[in-house]
Chains A and B, each alone.
Chain A
Amino acid sequence: MKRAILAIAIAALGLSLAAGAFAAGEVKNPEQRSWSWDGVFGKFDRSQLQRGYQVYKEVCAACHALQYVNFRNLTEIGFSDGQAKALAASYEVDDGPNDEGEMFKRPGRLADPLPKPFANEKAARAANNGALPPNLSLITKARHDGPNYLYSLMIGYGQPPAGVKLGEGMNYNPYFSGNQIAMAPPLADGAVQYGDNTQATVKQMAEDVTAFLTWAAEPSLEARKRLGFKVMIFLLVMTGLFIAAKQRVWRDLH
C-alpha cells in the first residue's frame, strides 16, 4: 500500500516537473540531437568550439553581443595566450578618461569583454528594423532545450506554408515562437572559411556555433561534470558505509 503511494507520488511528481516546461502554440519542437557535452562524461570538442567562435565572430557578432565572455576566456577553448592577445588587439576599445580627462581608443587586451556591436538598445533596434538582437552569452540556458533549439533555429528557415502571411521584413521559421523571426537566415554554405578544412555547410556551422554558445553560457560545464563524478562516487561509498554502520548498530537490538 505504502509502496503504491510512493510510486504514484514519484511518478506524478515527475509528471508535474515535466509539465513545468510550457508548450505554447504550434511552434515546432526542436530537432533532438546528441552533443559532445551530453551525459555524465560530456566534454566540449576544442576545435569545434574554435570553429564556433569563428562563426560567431564573422557572422553573429555583427548584431549579437556576448557580454559575459572576455578575450582571456578564449584560452579556455584552446587558443594560446598569444592568439587570444592578438585577437583582442585586433579590436579598438574605448577607454578613459586619461590624465587630461579625455576618452581614448586603445587596442583590446585579454581582460576586455568581447566588443558589443551596438552602443545601446536603441541603436540596435534602429539598425534591425525595430527588432532587438538578444545577447547571446546565456542563450542556450535562456531557452527551453537550448542547444537543440538554437541548432534547429539556425537550420530551420524556409518558405512559409500557403496561407501564412509574414510581416514586413520578417522571415519564416517554424521553431521560433510565432513562426516569424526578424533575423534573416544568418548562415549560408561557405559563409566562413574554416582553417581546418572542415566543410562550412549550414549544418556544420550551426552545430559549431551551438557548441560555442553552449560553452559561453556554461563555461564550467566540463569542470562540473568532472567534479560531479568524483563526488557521486564518494557519496555512493559513503552511503554504503552508512548502511553497513546502521545495520551493525541495529543488529544487536531485540
Chain B
Amino acid sequence: MSEMQLKNPMLRWIEYRLPIFSFIDHSVGSQYPAPKNLSYWWNFGSLAGIALVMQIATGIVLAMHYTPHADMAFDSVERIMREVNYGWLLRYFHANGASLFFLVVYIHIFRGLYYGSYKYPRELLWWLGLVIFVLMMATAFMGYVLPWGQMSYWAATVITNLFSAIPWIGVGITEWLWGGFTVGNPTLARFYSLHYLLPFVIVGVVFLHLWALHQHKSNNPLGIDIKGPQDTIPFHPYYTYKDLVGLGVFLLVMFGFVFYHPNYMGHPDNYIPANPLQTPAHIVPEWYFLPFYAILRAIPSKLGGVIAMAASILVLFLIPWLDTSRVRSTKFRPVYRWFFVFLVIDVILLGIVGAKPPEGIWILIGRLATLYYFLHFIIFMPFLGWFERPLPVPDSIHQPVLGAAAGAAAAGENKR
C-alpha cells in the first residue's frame, strides 16, 4: 500500500504501526477507483450496508428490553412501546428499517440483473450477495416471530412446517427446529438467539462481498471493463458524496414511515397475542416474502411447493452461466430489455398473488406467474443470449462520458 500523507502526528503514529487509515482509503476512499459513469442505481449497495448497521444498532438496544419467553415476549414488546424512553421509536425504526432494508436489497439485486453485474468475472460476488440475501430472509423471518403475536406464531408454524415436507426425515427435522412437538417457548428462545447471531454472520459475508467487489471493481451502466485510469474517478469524494444524497432520500422515506405510518407494512393481527388454538383467517408473511410465498402455494403439493420455492432462489445462483449474452448491460440488448421489464412485472404480480387468499382466479395467476419466473431464467436467458443481436457497445467508459455526440447518445439515459 502506498504511503499515506497524514498531517496529524497522532494519526501518523497509529498509521506507522497499524496502517488502518490507508486501508480505509484503499477500500472506500481516494485510492479506490470506481467507474466514472455510475448512476444513482449504484447507491443501493452502500445503502444496504447502512441499513444493516442501523438494524444492528437498533436491535442491540431493543434486545436490552425484550424478554424471549412465550409468556412474556408480547408484554415486553408493549413495555418497550409504552415505558422505555423512545422505545416506540426504536421498535418502529427496527420494524420499518427491516422492510426498507429489503426494498433496498431488491433494487440492488434488480440493478445487478439489469446491468449483468453477475457475469464474468463477478460470479462469486453475485453468489456472496445471494448468500447475504438468504441470510437476511432467515434473520427477518426469525425477527418477525419475536413479538409473539398471532402472525408471528402462525408464520413460524407455516414456515417451520415446510421442512416436514422432506421425505423420511422431515418430521424429525421440524421437531428438532421447534425444540418440541409444536412451535413453543423453546422455538422462540432459539429464534431469538439466532436472530441476534445471524446479522453478524451477514456482516462477515458483506466483507467477503466487498473483497470480491474490490478485486474487479464495480460494474457500470455500460457493462464494459475499466480500460485504464481515464475511465475511473476516486470513490472518495465523488461516490461518497453521491451516496450521501441517496442516504438522505432513503432516510426521508424510512422516517416518513416510522413517524407517520409506522404500522403500514405490518399486519394488524400481530397486535393480538399468539394463540395456538386460533388460526388467523389468512396467514400472510411480510410483503418482502410475498413473491416466494406465491411460488410456494402455486404447486399443488407440499413437497413440490417447497422445492419450487427453494429453486426460485437457487436458480439465481446459476444465472452467470444461464445468461449467454456477450454484453453485460441490458442497455445494449433491445430484446432482452423487454424481458427484463416482464420479469419485474412478474415478480410484482407474484407479490400480489402472495397477498391474496389462494382462491379462484388467483390460483391460476399464481401458477402462470411462477411458470414465467422459471421460464425467464431457464429458457429466455440462454436463448436470447444466443439469438439476440446486441447494439454496438462503446469502446470505453471514458469516451461516451467525454460527451462525443455518439457517446452521449449511448450514455443518454444514464444520469452522471
Q: Which residues of A contact B (CB under 8 A)?
A: 1-2, 4-5, 8-9, 12-13, 15-17, 19-20, 22, 24, 40, 68, 134, 137-138, 141-144, 146, 177, 217, 219-220, 223-225, 227-229, 231-232, 235-236, 238-239, 242-243, 245-246, 249-250, 253-254
In the complex with contacts A138-B78, A142-B268, A220-B82, A1-B337 CB distance below 8 A:
yes
Q: Which of A141, A143, A246 contacts B242 (CB 8 A)?
A: A246
Q: Which residues of B contact A1 (CB under 8 A)?
A: 337, 413
- B244 in contact with A12 (CB, 8 Å): no
Cα–Cα distance between A134 and B269 once the two chains are bound (Å):
13
Q: Which residues of A contact B23 (CB under 8 A)?
A: none
Closest to A137 in B: B78
Cα–Cα distance between A144 and B89 once the two chains are bound (Å):
22
Q: Which residues of A contact B268 (CB under 8 A)?
A: 141-144, 146
Q: Mark B250-285, 1 if CB is under 8 A from A, else 0.
A: 011001101110111101110110000000011010
Cα–Cα distance between A1 and B391 once the two chains are bound (Å):
16
Q: Which residues of B contact A227 (CB under 8 A)?
A: 89, 259
Closest to A22 in B: B282
- B281 in contact with A243 (CB, 8 Å): no
Q: Which residues of B contact A (CB under 8 A)?
A: 36, 78, 81-82, 88-89, 92, 233, 237-238, 241-242, 244-245, 247-249, 251-252, 255-256, 258-260, 262-265, 267-269, 271-272, 281-282, 284, 287, 290, 337, 340-341, 344-345, 348-349, 351-352, 355-357, 401-403, 413, 416
In the complex with contacts A8-B344, A22-B282, A220-B82, A16-B290 CB distance below 8 A:
yes
Would you call the interface of chain B mostly helix, strand, loop, or mixed?
A: helix
- A224 in contact with B245 (CB, 8 Å): no
Closest to B291 in A: A16
Q: Which residues of B contact A220 (CB under 8 A)?
A: 81-82, 88
- A246 in contact with B244 (CB, 8 Å): yes
In the complex with contacts A19-B356, A22-B284, A239-B401 CB distance below 8 A:
no
Q: Which residues of A contact B284 (CB under 8 A)?
A: 20, 22
Closest to A4 in B: B341
Q: Which residues of B contact A24 (CB under 8 A)?
A: 281-282, 357
Min CB gap A197→B, angstroms: 33
- A249 in contact with B82 (CB, 8 Å): no
Q: Which residues of A contact B272 (CB under 8 A)?
A: 134, 138, 142
Min CB gap A169→B, angstroms: 20
- B271 in contact with A141 (CB, 8 Å): yes
- B287 in contact with A250 (CB, 8 Å): no
Cα–Cα distance between A243 and B246 once the two chains are bound (Å):
9
A16-B348, A224-B262 given; name 6 further pairs at CB < 8 Å. A8-B344, A12-B348, A217-B271, A232-B256, A235-B252, A254-B401
Q: Which residues of A contact B401 (CB under 8 A)?
A: 254
- B265 in contact with A17 (CB, 8 Å): yes
Q: Which residues of B contact A143 (CB under 8 A)?
A: 268
Cα–Cα distance between A196 and B408 once the two chains are bound (Å):
72
Query: 3 smallest A-B Cβ distances: which pairs?
Result: A228-B259, A239-B248, A142-B271
Cα–Cα distance between A40 and B290 once the two chains are bound (Å):
30
Q: Which residues of A contact B237 (CB under 8 A)?
A: 249
Cα–Cα distance between A171 and B409 once the two chains are bound (Å):
70
Q: Which of A68, A223, A246, A254 contacts B245 (CB 8 A)?
A: A246
